[in-house]
Amino acid sequence: MGLPNIELCGFHCHVGSMVFDSDTFLRSAEIMLEFCALMKNKYGYVTRILDLGGGYGVRYVESQPVISIKDNIRQVSQFIKDKCSSLNIALPSLRLEPGRSIVADAGMTLYTVGTVKRITGYKNYVSIDGGMTDNPRYALYGSQYTVVTANKADCNCELKADLVGRCCESGDIVQPDVMFPESICRKDIVAVLTTGAYNYSMASNYNRIPRPAVVMINENDDYLAVKRETLEDLVSNDL
Ligand SMILES: Cc1ncc(COP(=O)(O)O)c(C=O)c1O
């Protein structure tokens, strides 16, 4: 407030990601509004904008709930109105920064199966033409995904196997303990669902593996949104 070139518009917070309950958002709103009231009482500063960040959870696997963002926002905004009047502060203009909840469900990743390795008494592996380079989330922090054998989606799934990549790393696992059809074999197509958020943006050229293409599809149309990387692309900056 004392800096002539800075205009303080308000305050911002972000409580985290994959939040399924509304209590967390209510509590963060409460903490922020109490802070706004403190700033008003201490310095006479009136908060114009309050940004509560993002964080709405999406359903990667069936055990996770589907949340009503509409109901959640209605609840949080009512809470904010009530809290502002009890704290005797003006209602600030509210901002949210939803990320994952907008786009995660809009995307899925399709892989072609390479080797299927069955090790009796130990474990089975289904390897694919991608892996932690296009989706590092399981390797980084154990994220759960729903995996479907797309071209055999109506078959019973009786083979438990780890879905693994082609990076030549022991950590290159896209998802462990996936149930596949017993008949899964080379050239089958495996779909990993809900990869529209934090996926292409997290992809890398680890081990100089090129990144895949991104195709946009709607009811009547499809188009290439991002070209498949080539080996020439990978060496284009080499001198
Ligand atoms: C400051 C900030 N706002 C918004 C988001 C979006 O979060 P989400 O994708 O969980 O909605 C993030 C994600 O980390 C963030 O750090």
pLDDT (tens place) for every residue of the chain, 239 residues total = 899 999 999 999 999 999 999 899 999 999 999 999 999 999 999 999 999 999 999 999 999 999 999 999 999 999 999 999 999 999 999 999 999 999 999 999 999 999 999 999 999 999 999 999 999 999 999 999 999 999 999 999 999 999 999 998 999 999 999 999 999 999 999 999 999 999 999 999 999 999 999 999 999 999 999 999 999 999 999 99
pLDDT of residue 121: 95
Residue 18 backbone class (left: φ over 0; alpha: ψ -120 to 50; beta: rest) = left
CB 174 within 8 A of CB 131: yes
CA–CA gap between residue 168 and residue 162 (Å, rounded):
15
Tokens linked to 16: 């985290």
Distance (Å) from CA 35 to ligand 1 centroid? 21
How crowded is residue 132: how many other Cβ atoms within 10 Å of its Cβ?
A: 25
Total residue length of the chain: 239
Using the 8-state DSSP alphabet, how is residue 4 labeled? T
Structure tokens that stand for 38 in this block: 């403190």
Max Cα distance, the chain (Å): 72
Of 68, 66, 75, 69, which is closest to residue 29 (Cα–Cα)?
75
Question: Ligand 1 centre and the CA of 64: distance in Å?
Answer: 19
Say whether 157 is catalytic: no
Sign of CA dihedral 147, 99, 67, 140: positive
The amino acid occupying position 201 is S
Beta strand 49-51 pairing with 10-12: parallel
Closest CA to 183 of 163, 155, 207: 155
Going by CA atoms, what residue is nearest to atom 12 of ligand 1?
54
- Among 147, 131, 133, CA closest to 179: 147
Mapping DSSP onto H, E and C, the string for 105-138 reads HHCEEEEEEEEEEEECCCEEEEEECCCCCCCCHH
Atom of ligand 1 nearest to the CA of 17: 10
Q: What spacing in Å lies between the alpha carbon of 103 and ligand 1's midpoint?
A: 13
pTM score, whole prediction: 0.92
Domains and CATH numbers, the chain: 10-102 (3.20.20.10), 107-208 (2.40.37.10)
Contacts of 130 (CB under 8 A, 6+ apart): 109, 111, 165, 166, 174, 212
- Bridge partners of 116? 126
Tokens of 9: 């518009």
Q: Is 10 in the pocket of ligand 1 (CB under 6 A)?
A: no
Q: Looking at residue 168, what is its pLDDT?
A: 87
